Amino acid sequence: MLRTTVGLKVFMAVTGILLVLFLIAHMLGNLKIFVGPTAFNHYAHWLRAIGTPLLPNTWYLWIQRTVLTVAVIGHIWSAAVLARRARAARPVRYAHRQPVQGSYAGRTMRWGGVIILLFVIYHILDLTTGNLNPVGDKQHPYANVVADFAPHRWYVTIWYVLAILAIGFHLRHGIFSALRTLGQQSQQWQRRSRAFALGFAIVLCAGYLSVPFAVLTGLVR
């Protein structure tokens, strides 16, 4: 199936959906910060205990990490193969190309993807391993998050905001494309897919952005 272009697009959509499911769960988890330090830290400890006593501690987390890593690699691989095929189908470049083709998000998928990948590497070193965090206390993620977005570390907040906006653009176009691949080919379906993708991207961005802004304004301290 992965030899055909449609098969590759379906694979890209399915790996993308797995990543989106993680993004939804992670955003809901992050919002626990508004409940307070005890609830947030308890939630982080619970993440390590999911699946127990059936599985030993942290096993579920490692299974999830493995699935997500495979999904990220698969997503990037299928994007690269599809891009190479599109180029090979048109070896001679257009002498005249329409300057406006597709949406802004559609044209920035590749660079957006690179920014998101760099962000995830930074973010893991910041809030999972603690190496780049001023507190870096694995037992108290609440304190790590509050220290991260302190006003004097405004450059960290800007970096997070940029990465989250890149995710928003990437999702808007990605969800729209995935729905087009997996759904019907009608005008009405396209219109609904576009509206859904935009609404989803806005809600997700707002959820993620609310945390650094709450710390910056002193609502969470």
Binding site for ligand HEM (CB under 6 A): 26, 30, 44, 47, 61, 65, 116, 120, 123-124, 127-128, 141, 145, 160, 164, 167, 208, 211-212
Task: Pick between residue 11 and residue 119 the one whose CB is nearest to ligand HEM.
Answer: 119
What is the separation of C-alpha 56 from the centre of its chain, rounded to a whole number of angstroms?
28
Task: Pick between residue 102 and residue 137 the one whose CB is nearest to ligand HEM.
Answer: 137
Q: Is 93 exposed, middle or buried (0-12, 13-18, 19+ CB in 10 A)?
A: exposed
Nearest residue to ligand HEM by CB is 44
Task: Pick between residue 23 and residue 198 the one whose CB is nearest to ligand HEM.
Answer: 23
Q: Least distance from C-beta 6 to ligand HEM, angstroms?
A: 27
Nearest to 115, CA basis, from 63, 150, 163, 159: 163
Task: Pick between residue 2 and residue 73 the one whose CB is nearest to ligand HEM.
Answer: 73
Residue 98: CB atoms within 10 A of its CB come to 7
Q: Least distance from C-beta 9 to ligand HEM, angstroms?
A: 22
Q: Least distance from C-beta 107 to ligand HEM, angstroms?
A: 21
DSSP three-state, residue 158:
helix
- Contact in structure between 119 and 166 (CB atoms under 8 Å): yes
Q: Least distance from C-beta 211 to ligand HEM, angstroms?
A: 4
The answer to whether the bond into 56 is cis (omega within 30° of 0) is no
Enter the tokens of residue 177: 């494309």
